[in-house]
Amino acid sequence: MPLALLNIDVDDFRQINNRWGYRAGDRVLADLCQACASQLRPQDLFGRIGDEEFAILLVGMAGDEAMGIAEAIRTEVAHLHGVFSHSDYQPCISGGLTCLTADDQAFLDLFSRADQALFLAKGNGRNQIASILAT
């Protein structure tokens, strides 16, 4: 069965907490969760894996279809305003996408590739989804 993993991270999250406080940061995380939930299906799994980092397991999905969901989430987050409607700040996310392969021995193989792709997205300027789709 196809399986995709998307790791996402809120770009410049520390700036939010430093500039507007932790309540504003919490609001961004809550808004991000709502944006993700609006794009996911009941069989998908979504969870927080770090301060501002989340993982989404897309069950039965791979390749272009998974990238479509990832881009839809990124676009929706980029249109969030929440507590920042009167400022110049626009929340953005970076994401790393990968899909399960026959060579994967453990979930860590999948997770490591998604994390590598996330670092690639951040290194390439943020506010984008990068993928490592091994065969």
Active site positions, annotated:
52
Spatial CB neighbours of 87, under 8 Å, sequence gap ≥ 6: 20
Helix, strand and coil in the chain, % to nearest 5? 45, 20, 35
Q: What is the CA radius of gyration of the chain?
A: 15
The Cα-based distances of 45 to 3, 87, 113 in angstroms read 11, 33, 18
Helix axes 22-39, 13-20, angle to 10 degrees: 140
Q: For residue 120, count other CB atoms closer than 10 A to its CB.
A: 16
